Amino acid sequence: MATVVPLAEAVGNLVHDGDSVAMEGFTHLIPYAAGHEIIRQGHRGLTLIRMTPDLIYDQLIGMGCARRLVFSWGGNPGVGSLHRFRDAVQNHWPAPLEIEEHSHAGIANAYVAGASGLPFAVLRGYRGTDLPSRTPNIRPITCPFTGEELTAVPAINPDVAIVHAQRADRRGNVQLWGITGVQKEAVLAARRSLVTVEEIVEELEPRPGAVVLPEWAITHVSEAPLGSHPSYSAGYTVRDNDFYQAWDGIARDRDTFLAWMDENVLDRKAAR
Amino acid sequence: MATVVPLAEAVGNLVHDGDSVAMEGFTHLIPYAAGHEIIRQGHRGLTLIRMTPDLIYDQLIGMGCARRLVFSWGGNPGVGSLHRFRDAVQNHWPAPLEIEEHSHAGIANAYVAGASGLPFAVLRGYRGTDLPSRTPNIRPITCPFTGEELTAVPAINPDVAIVHAQRADRRGNVQLWGITGVQKEAVLAARRSLVTVEEIVEELEPRPGAVVLPEWAITHVSEAPLGSHPSYSAGYTVRDNDFYQAWDGIARDRDTFLAWMDENVLDRKAAR
Amino acid sequence: MTVSPSASSASTASSGADAYTADEMMTVAAARRLRSGSCFVGIGLPSVAANLARRTHAPDLVLIYESGTIGAKPGRPPLSIGDGELAETADAVVSVPEIFNYWLQPGRIGVGFLGAAQIDRFANINTTVIGPYDDPKVRLPGAGGAPEIAASCREVTVIVRQSPRTFVERVDFVTSVGFGSGPGDRERLGLRGSGPRTVITDLGVLEPDPATCELVLTHLHPGVTLDRVRAATGWDLTVAPGLRETEPPTARELAALRALTGGRG
Amino acid sequence: MTVSPSASSASTASSGADAYTADEMMTVAAARRLRSGSCFVGIGLPSVAANLARRTHAPDLVLIYESGTIGAKPGRPPLSIGDGELAETADAVVSVPEIFNYWLQPGRIGVGFLGAAQIDRFANINTTVIGPYDDPKVRLPGAGGAPEIAASCREVTVIVRQSPRTFVERVDFVTSVGFGSGPGDRERLGLRGSGPRTVITDLGVLEPDPATCELVLTHLHPGVTLDRVRAATGWDLTVAPGLRETEPPTARELAALRALTGGRG
């Protein structure tokens, strides 16, 4: 049921103001090209969901696309803070940002519940931390057999999930490999989904460690070569660690940030 | 932490009378050689756990090893009944057999809970069926967010899990591929584990669709070439469909069955 | 194409150019219910019917087996749900927990195909036990994937040979829920799929009445009499107002079916 | 091997043949705590220390990153927990839900290695926020994998530079539980791991008193005075009866560390 369409069209079809949008990719395969297209299309009021917000959410937040952020770790990995995220939380710039804060285990399980058609997930998590006092979506649950108290989180079922993968075939079957994170869960949990890919090929040759998402479980596939930069697509590109470090300087200041976005995102067209 | 030892030694170390033993392999990679070794060692009072009991459990039950069976589908796939299983349930021969009966989804999730260190699993399952009235280990659970009623099953944590795989390296890292069933979950849920393999190799070359179980998560690895016959090991052997059909005739009659076991299992030594 | 003479019983082949058995009629009728989309396939007749559909009118039908193979394209119907060819020809192979949790449970799969040892007027299915549970007359294989297939597939098709022993007023054990004890039960139980839409037998086709949820006869296979169906049904069978005759198998359907089964079945 | 002159602060390198910085001392001391077994590694100093252990005394140490790589053998410490080399060199790569559910949660992993923005007397850790949650002075990255690493690893090692701002009487936010408010809290909360066994700083080593669960100073790094540690601690620090001096880094340790970091840190 997947249809292969240009990126701008895919984002236009799938993302609407006010939607909840999950863009996943655990360090690897982060869908930057799609995120930039959302910024260009000027969407507002989004609930952004992502385990590790990373630079792409720093950009979306800094450009005022987000009303709410559901996350578990909002930093620039190995570098430091996400300055736009901090500025939004600490100073409400460019707009107030509501946050719903979890642990990695909590969000990962919330996606699993979403993908599984269950209303909640159970884990050994959060107990004794201050997170449940700040995140009402973390509740105790009692084992009906042992009486032990554990923790429940509600399923995440985003309006749209967006992930990046290495390849798709012409029918829209998708193949990704390397660190595959929670991408399968995010796509299966979502009402609609977009997978951007490095390339579209005639046939998906089997590969060690590859996850295949069948086309009938995806809404749109778009070709977006280099679409995960400055993250990477194993087998196609390498992580641009220098950019991650440079971002600290770019994002620290509002004007520098806006100028960079203007030049590097708003002026550019979607890949195709 | 895995040690590579001969099959008879591995079974001797790991399986004791009265243990709960899960031997998994969903049609593919069924650990027949290990099952035969359990029969030769004459273990009694076992709780046997397995989604699809298959011929190997028919043999263990018929030889009087089992006191209890936890299962979800007890048939000869594509052929018909398991006559030894039926004889035990209907006529208590050679001994009464307690049963705890589930659906596939229920047992699969009970293993997932066991592998995850959780006391129970939640699923949309069993509702409206007569299974909960016969299996006390199926209970309702209420979603703490939506109030919806779902079903809980307790974790399965067998004393011993036994699975068959294609290969291991000398350190005991295991690789299996093709239909991988619930083998990973069974091994991770168990207190002790044995993996029999078609061969031990110098290096585990990555393969499409392969699951790797690291050696530190396994207790023993034993070489058992052809150890899944009449099931199969993709890439090594093919399923002996004729044997599955012949079993119907062998197992239908108690004496024919005993004679066959005598000749084909009791007289044989473990592979090494 | 000539209309074939009818099959008169499950075990008797009819004669003539397009002769076919009652089992063949049943399998062809079942295959016809499958359009494109996805199908969760049990072993045996359901697997043959699903593979037949894929080779005739529904080449894009996605076959999903509980062993974890998604989009399998077996050359012949497998003997077991875990045959090697299923994995080799699949678009994706996933673990057994994943196939139930990520694929079946959320209601992603269009049609669930089930067999039955007993089926009752509300299309509840028994594959567990004949007679009392604690002292069974016949111990059957049990539930397998069926309870959750019946609960979660968007709709269910049942294939079963019709006789008074299988078509009973009340099943001895509810392994898989059809419509429970009538209208509203599925909703009350939180079952998300719409339940059995079609029961295909060697004699005809039954469908649930939308108002009462009771299975009523909607089609007779060619040459089968209403009396014969009534005699093979353990409850007072209602006949749908517009009772029709099933189209007999076409030569193409029969050829494809026989190529699949090697003449068996 | 000559005992090196001591490092006098985190940022000042000492001079001499085996000169080393306070951060190097900290990293080496942390690496030494890791024996064979498995280690759940966070990014930054924990990753450097774990990789150092693997290259010196613990070649069989299994490194597990939350990105899903089990048994990764990176050539250099990765900048992120998802660097490509982690997957390429791993024994197995699994999904993120699996790494947390099947590997971390059941208590399979020996040592969890954590950093901290604040740590208190009962080894509770804050990486969420400095100041009030709703009006933060500094918004930090948040929890990541830490709450469940702290709960489920068989034991936890914390690496953190010591200052009155980080070593506080009470953390502003409990992101990860050490010993809660004292003895019995972990058991009461159902946390299965034994909690922080060691807190390694640039000044020394602290360990929980078995009776009170309070962090007490057990080691001073060479050249560090007790007064300096007290001044860097935001509570009235207890000193263990047998306070010892940490063995300085060996030449082999330093060489391996510098090869890993390329001279950084």
Residues D113-128 have pLDDT tens digits of 999 999 999 999 999 9
Q: What is the pLDDT of residue C8?
A: 39
Interchain proximity B116–D105, CB inside 8 Å: yes
User: Is there a catalytic annotation at residue D169?
Assistant: no
What's phi and psi for A244, nearest 5 deg? -60, -40
pLDDT per residue over C95-139, tens digit each?
A: 999 999 999 999 999 999 999 999 999 999 999 999 999 999 999
Q: Are strands D155-159 and D196-200 parallel, antiparallel or unpaired?
A: parallel
First to last CA, chain B: 21
Phi-psi category of residue B55: left, alpha or beta, with phi > 0 → left and psi -120 to 50 → alpha? alpha
Give the C-alpha separation, A65 to A17, whole Å.
9
* Mean pLDDT computed over D2-10: 37
What 3-state DSSP class applies to A208?
Answer: strand
Give the C-alpha separation, B32 to B29, whole Å.
9
Q: What is the pLDDT of residue D6?
A: 39
What's phi and psi for A106, nearest 5 deg? -65, -50
Q: Which chains lie within 8 Å of chain C at 3 or more CB pairs, if any?
A: A, B
Chain C residues touching B128 at Cβ < 8 A: 151, 174, 177, 180, 185-186, 189, 191
Chain C residues touching B118 at Cβ < 8 A: none
Nearest to A217 among C108, C152, C192 (CB): C108
Token couple for D147:
């709450």
- Is residue D3 exposed (0-12), middle (13-18) or buried (19+ Cβ within 10 Å)? exposed
Comparing CA positions, the residue from D46, D105, D37, D100 lying closest to residue D68 is: D100
Q: Which of residues 207-266 of B touch C (CB under 8 A)?
A: 209, 232, 234, 238-239, 241, 244
Residue D264 has pLDDT above 60, yes or no: no
Alpha-helical runs (H) found in chain C: 22-32, 45-55, 84-88, 96-98, 146-152, 185-189, 226-231, 251-261
Nearest to A216 among C62, C101, C106 (CB): C62
Number of H-type helices and E-type strands within chain B:
9, 15
User: In this complex, how many residue pairs, one in chain B and one in chain D, have their CB atoms less than 8 Å apart?
Assistant: 33
Q: Minimal Cα distance from D191: which residue of B? A: B117
Q: Are strands B160-169 and B174-176 parallel, antiparallel or unpaired?
A: antiparallel
How far, in Å, are B164, B166, B211, B222, C94 from residue B177 at the CA level? Answer: 11, 7, 6, 18, 10
Interchain proximity B145–A139, CB inside 8 Å: yes
Chain D residues touching A103 at Cβ < 8 A: 143-148
pLDDT per residue over D57-111, tens digit each?
A: 999 999 999 999 999 998 877 777 677 888 999 999 999 999 999 999 999 999 9
Interchain proximity A217–C101, CB inside 8 Å: no
Interchain proximity A214–C102, CB inside 8 Å: no
Question: What pTM was computed for the model?
Answer: 0.95
**Active-site annotation holder among C66, C148, C214, C253:** C66
Helix H, strand E, coil C: the string for chain D is CCCCCCCCECCECCCCCCCCCHHHHHHHHHHHCCCCCEEEECCCHHHHHHHHHHHCCCCCCEEEECCCEECCCCCCCCCCCCCHHHHHCCCEECCHHHHHHHHHCCCCCCEEEECCCEECCCCCEECCEECCCCCCCEECCCCCCHHHHHHHCCEEEEECCCCCCCECCCCCCCCECCCCCCCCHHHHHCCCCCCEEEEECCCEEEEECCCCCCEEEEEECCCCCHHHHHHCCCCCCEEEEEEEECCCCCHHHHHHHHHHHCCCC
D43, D96, D103, D124: which to substitute to probe chain A, counting the most A Cβ within 10 Å? D96
User: How far does the CA of residue A127 sit from the closest CA of chain D (Å)?
Assistant: 6
Chain B residues touching C67 at Cβ < 8 A: 26-28, 179, 181
pLDDT per residue over C162-181, tens digit each?
A: 999 999 999 999 999 999 99
Chain B residues touching D102 at Cβ < 8 A: 115-116, 184-185, 188
Spatial contact of A53 and A70, defined as CB atoms under 8 Å apart: no
Residue C1 has pLDDT above 80, yes or no: no
Q: Which of residues 117-156 of A touch D (CB under 8 A)?
A: 123-131, 134, 148-150
Residue D44 has pLDDT above 80, yes or no: no
Token couple for D250:
């060996």
Give the C-alpha separation, C202 to C220, whole Å.
9
Chain C residues touching B125 at Cβ < 8 A: 105, 147-148, 151
Q: What is the pLDDT of residue D37?
A: 92
Residue D219: which pLDDT band, with cuts at 50, 70 and 90? very high
Interface predicted TM-score (ipTM) over 0.90: yes
Residue A116 contacts C where some CB pair is shorter than 8 Å: yes
CA angle D167–D168–D174, rounded 5-degree value? 105
Q: What residue ranges of chain B have pLDDT lower than 50?
A: 270-272
Give the C-alpha separation, C61 to C55, whole Å.
9
Q: What is the pLDDT of residue D83?
A: 77
Q: What is the pLDDT of residue D263?
A: 60
Give the C-alpha separation, A41 to A8, whole Å.
8
* Mean pLDDT computed over D39-50: 85
pLDDT per residue over D238-261, tens digit each?
A: 999 999 999 999 999 999 999 988
User: How far does the CA of residue A175 sit from the closest CA of chain C (Å)?
Assistant: 10
Nearest to C91 among A117, A173, A188 (CB): A173
Chain A residues touching D78 at Cβ < 8 A: 78
Give the C-alpha separation, C96 to C87, whole Å.
13
Residue A168 contacts C where some CB pair is shorter than 8 Å: no
Interchain proximity A123–D148, CB inside 8 Å: yes
Residue B188 contacts D where some CB pair is shorter than 8 Å: yes
**Active-site annotation holder among D24, D66, D207, D214:** D66
Q: What residue ranges of chain A have pLDDT lower than 50?
A: 270-272
Q: Which amino acid is at B160?
A: V
Q: What is the DSSP letter of C122?
A: T
Q: Minimal Cα distance from A111: which residue of C? A: C102
Nearest to B128 among C104, C140, C180 (CB): C180
* Mean pLDDT computed over C33-49: 87
How far, in Å, are A66, A186, D82, D175 from residue A70 at the CA level? Answer: 11, 13, 20, 16
Residue B184 contacts D where some CB pair is shorter than 8 Å: yes
Interchain proximity B27–C190, CB inside 8 Å: no
Chain A residues touching B140 at Cβ < 8 A: 144
Residue D17 has pLDDT above 80, yes or no: no
Interchain proximity B144–A152, CB inside 8 Å: yes
Give how far the C-alpha of residue A67 lies from the chain's centroid of Cα atoms, to the nearest Å: 15
pLDDT per residue over B101-124, tens digit each?
A: 999 999 999 999 999 999 999 999
What 3-state DSSP class applies to C7?
Answer: coil
Q: What is the sign of the dihedral through the CA atoms of D7, D8, D12 and D14?
A: negative
Residue C42: which pLDDT band, with cuts at 50, 70 and 90? confident
Q: Which chains lie within 8 Å of chain A at 3 or more CB pairs, if any?
A: B, C, D
Q: Minimal Cα distance from A91: which residue of D? A: D135
Interchain proximity B116–D106, CB inside 8 Å: yes
Interchain proximity D106–B117, CB inside 8 Å: yes
User: How far does the CA of residue C102 sit from the closest CA of chain A (Å)?
Assistant: 5
pLDDT per residue over D181-196, tens digit each?
A: 999 999 999 999 999 9
Q: Minimal Cα distance from D100: which residue of A? A: A105
User: How far does the CA of residue A216 sit from the closest CA of chain C (Å)?
Assistant: 8
Other residues' Cβ atoms within 10 Å of the Cβ of residue C242? 7
Q: Which amino acid is at B38?
A: I
Q: What is the pLDDT of residue D79?
A: 73
